[in-house]
Structure 1
Amino acid sequence: MTHPTYNFKKLILTGGTMFAMLAVPLAVNTVTGLDLGVISDAQAAEEGGASKKGSATKGGTKKGSANKGGQGKGGSSNKIFRAPVDTAEDSDRPAWAGVKGGKAGGGGKPGGAGTKKGDLFGDMVILLRDSNGVPILTADGLVQVIAYYYPEGSTTLVPLKDSAGNLVVIPYNAEGDLLPTVTLDGKTYDVVGAEVDLGRLSVARAPEKVLQHSLDEALSKLTATGVVIGLDAAGRLTVNGVAIDSPLENLALYDAYMTGTLPSTLTLPTGFTPASLLAAAADKTGDIKIDTVVYMNSILGINNLASGTYYNFDTYNYDRYTTWKNATATVLVLKDGVYVPTVVNLYETLFNSTNWIDPTPTVGDAGADDFAAAADDYLTVIQFIHDNEVR
């Protein structure tokens, strides 16, 4: 999907935080002037609709070991699983990913990294996007930043909604700067943009040789003579029954798959989806949303921002029920004071047998929301199995 060349607009929010907004001159359901805009159906589902979690920011609630919580994502499970593994024990988190919760993913710059893919990206915030994930601009060609605020007495940042339940965007002043407040139904709110936490995905900013080395490692396993390639319970690629669980190798495979550079001789198993690769590369306790996918694709070069070309998700569709209805995993379940290896149904256990509702189900609509929902669900399963697997 190609659009004219984008422009950068640097914006100052309250507290002096600098945000580098990626914009393309595309006007779909554009908010004009300083009027408050109503978010699209796809973004509404992503940022607080019936099928997604309400807050996707640093102050938001993180996933638990057995479910993500929230309608359509699975509520409290009636099973008692093993206590979650401390993230400090998660040995597959690379050292350069930094401490979780750091600014814009906490990764920072790897020492001696030189020129990196992420040099053009500052802090990344949640934007109003079309069904392909492309930012929807105002009539003045500026990106529309979703408004977040702290409810009175709360330390959790949540999206601002109007009386009809629609999310709103932060207006600009005449100079093109984001305003620090929004007045809605006679009440004024202090608002900010919510950062997208890339976590260890920030390693995508490292020199290309880092991912190339990881890709070589992964392909050496996948293309070895006589190997059997399959999928594990969490959708990760396996070689002779052993999952490729290295975040870097999964990220490198994701990059190669999305750019069409995997070896033509490599046959991937039925049921494979690149969404599982992105999930396996992400923080197990994180979240994947449309903004995560688009920013990652831009950093990796899957999106060509110089030409305004974005990855086309038109053919991607995700159905949680079809994907997980018969999926099972053997995990440790506490029974009579003893942890017992038990086979559980993942659709029932993690998603409360509740399907994900596609906000853009019409044939021909781009499926960026489908892809993000799929990746987020795969991440839920990966975290659950990681925390409760039989060791």
Structure 2
Amino acid sequence: MTHPAFNIKKLILAGSAVFTLLAVPMVVNSVTGLDLGVISSAQAAEDGGAKKGSANKGGAKKGAANKGGQGKGSDKIFRAPVSGEEEDSDRPVWAGVKGGKAGGGGKPAGAGSKKGDLFGDMVVLLRDPNGVPIVVDGYVQVIAYYYPTGSTTLVPLTNPDGTPVIIPRNAEGDLLPTVTIGTTTYEVFGAEVDLGRLSVGRAPDKVLAHSLTEALSKLTSGTVTLDSTGRLAVDGVTIDSPLENLALYDKYMTTGSLPGVTLPANFNPASLLAAAADKYGEISVDTVVYMNSILGINTGATYYDFSTVDYDRATTWSTATAIVLVLKDGVYVPTEVNLYNTVFDTNLDGLGDNWVDPTAVGGADDFATAADDYRAVIEFVHDNAVR
């Protein structure tokens, strides 16, 4: 199994920086100090919107962009601050009173700070190749999803040329409930990004700090290799704790190394995020960027630079194998299988199918695809493991 080398550096966004729009033939400016396009459930309710329930496995929820549009509360989320503008306080009337409304309890001593306190519902946004939200006229661009006739699954709405449709706004900046393409009008919604068990990244700092200590104590106690899924292993024992993998991901993406650990050749940090995520979920560009912001890998207008990440599925997995249980003559037999031809055979012809990169160079989509591929391999090996 081979993996590309990863260089670690930060991308500092300047107000005049220009980025090529991912999968859309236009160029726009990105701005500093923008919010990440998230809206809390409380704000959605305050604005008169109600969720209509969960949709597909990817976590898209009907109603993220509701019929009533987004009101004043969500303006503060979806609109980048204007220089010199005085912003109203969102603090509830009971803020600062010990214990909140009930007047009791309060924050436990030693609880530490929480990451991602400002993140509520997170929706799929139009992003540049580095994963930074595209901002037009001060607003992030929410990709439109809809329910095809007779379906209960949200799918992205596309223009005739295949580019994603953006939910329009009215003069006040509220998201509109419908989009008309040609002669057809669609009721549209924002698709929520479901982090699943990655949401533990919002926990107090001490949770990941403890997990990092545990993981590093293992990694510095023996010989570090990669298992068949690309995860780190010590003396043949895989580091499979989701919390420990998330802590290692945070540390590596922040510093570019793991203290005291000599990482094996072909190590890919995307495998750490994959090992921390739900095996049966999905890792998208939105998942990666939101998690990086929650963990503090992205800070303010400084985003992790994915420009040197260039992922190729065939190069990574074409020679990778694993021993799993295969049904032969009514009996499950431990068998060595080629992971590329088994996990990535999308057209069921017995051969793996490579990923086609939509961008000419590397980027956040390469990293997200790598992470989701590792997740898929982990799922396959886990479900068919020899026990």
Asked if 1 retains the 8 angstrom alpha-carbon contact of 2:61 and 2:190, the reply is no
Give the drift of 1:155.
Answer: 0.4
Q: What's the CA shift for 1:167?
A: 1.5
CA distance in 2, matches of 1:294, 1:184: 30
- 1:200 corresponds to which letter in structure 2? R
- Structure 2 equivalent of residue 339 of structure 1: 332
Q: Deviations over 1:70-92 (max 9, x none)?
A: xxxxxxxxxxxxxxxxxxxxxxx
Letter in 2 for 1:267: T
1:368 maps to which residue? Answer: 364
Q: Choose the corresponding residue for 2:305, options 293, 309, 312.
A: 312
Contact conserved, 1:170 with 1:182, CA < 8 A, in 2? yes
Say if 1:12 and 1:178, in contact at 8 Å, map to a contact too. no
Query: What is the aligned-residue RMSD (CA, Å)?
Result: 2.2
Residues 208-256 of structure 1 show CA distances to partners (whole Å, capped at 9, x for unaligned) of 10000000000001112xx110001110000000100000000000000
Larger radius of gyration: 2
Match of 1:267 among 262, 268, 288: 262
1:70-126 superposed Cα distances (whole Å, 9 cap, x missing partner):
xxxxxxxxxxxxxxxxxxxxxxxxxxxxxxxxxxxxxxxxx9666411111110000
The partner residue of 1:258 within 235, 241, 253 is 253
The match for 1:281 among 251, 276, 279 is 276
Identity across the alignment (%): 66
- 8 Å contact 1:126–1:194 — kept in the other structure? yes
Who is 1:383 aligned against? Answer: 379
**Aligned match of 1:2 in 5, 12, 24?**
12
- 1:385 positional shift: 0.6
Q: In the TM superposition, what whole-angstrom CA distance separates every residue of 1:301-327 from its partner, at most 9, and x where no partner exists?
A: 00002xx00000111110100100000
> Does the 8 Å contact 1:330/1:341 carry over to 2?
yes
- Residues 1:322 and 2:322 aligned together: no
Does the 8 Å contact 1:57/1:157 carry over to 2? no
Partner in structure 1 of residue 66 of structure 2: none
SS at match of 2:140: coil
Q: Mark the CA change 1:291 to 1:370 in structure 2 (over 3 Å): closer, same or farther.
A: same
Q: CA deviation at 1:259?
A: 0.4
SS at match of 1:296: helix
Q: Which residue of structure 1 lines up, in the alignment, with residue 289 of structure 2?
A: 294
Where in structure 2 are the equivalents of 1:117-266 lying within 5 Å?
A: 117-138=115-136, 140-224=137-221, 227-260=222-255, 262-266=257-261
1:137-184 per-residue CA deviation (whole Å, 9 max, x = no partner) reads 11x110000100101111011001122222211011110111011111
How much does 1:333 deviate? 0.8
Change (3 A) 1:55 1:361: farther
- Name 2:353's counterpart in structure 1: 354
Query: Is the CA contact (8 Å cut-off) linking 1:55 and 1:157 kept in structure 2?
Result: no
Structure 1 17/123 Cα, relative in aligned 2: closer, same or farther at 3 Å? farther
- What amino acid is aligned across from residue 162 of structure 1 in structure 2? N
Classify the secondary structure of the residue corresponding to 1:330: strand
Counterpart Cα distance in 2 of 1:192 and 1:150: 9
Measure the CA separation in 2 of the matches of 1:186 and 1:254. 48
**TM-score, structure 2 as length reference:** 0.73
How far apart are the structure 2 equivalents of 1:232 and 1:129? 33
CA distance in 2, matches of 1:155, 1:378: 28
CA distance in 2, matches of 1:263, 1:249: 12
Residue matched to 1:91: none
- The Cα shift of 1:266 comes to 1.7
Q: Measure how far apart 1:336 and its partner are.
A: 1.1
Conserved 8 A contact 2:251-2:258 = no
Shift in alpha-carbon separation, 1:182–1:257, aligned structure 2, 3 A? same
Tell me the SS of whatever aligns to 1:283. coil
Distance across 2 between alignment mates of 1:340 and 1:59: 41
Say which structure, 1 or 2, has more relative contact order (CA 8 Å, 6+ apart).
Answer: 1
- Tell me how many residue pairs correspond in the alignment: 298
- Shift in alpha-carbon separation, 1:123–1:163, aligned structure 2, 3 A: same
Counterpart AA for 1:2: I
Gaps of 5+ in 1: 19-53, 61-110
Distance in 1 between the 2:195 and 2:225 partners? 28
Q: Secondary structure at the match of 1:292?
A: helix
The residue matched to 1:218 in structure 2 has which SS?
helix
Q: Report the Cα distance in structure 1 between the residues aligned to 2:344 and 2:60, rounded to whole angstroms.
A: 23
Residue from 21, 25, 49 that aligns with 1:16 = 49
**Structure 1 residues 245, 167: closer, same or farther in 2, change over 3 A?**
same
2:126 & 2:258 partners in 1: Cα distance?
Answer: 36
Cα distance, 1:302–1:236 mapped onto 2, change above 3 Å? same
Q: Rate the CA distance shift 1:15–1:196 in 2: closer, same or farther, 3 A.
A: farther
> Secondary structure of the residue that 1:16 maps to in structure 2?
coil
Q: Distance in 1 between matches of 2:227 and 2:192?
A: 32
Task: Identify if the C-alpha distance between structure 1 residues 268 and 329 changes in structure 2 by more than 3 Å, giving closer, same or farther.
Answer: same
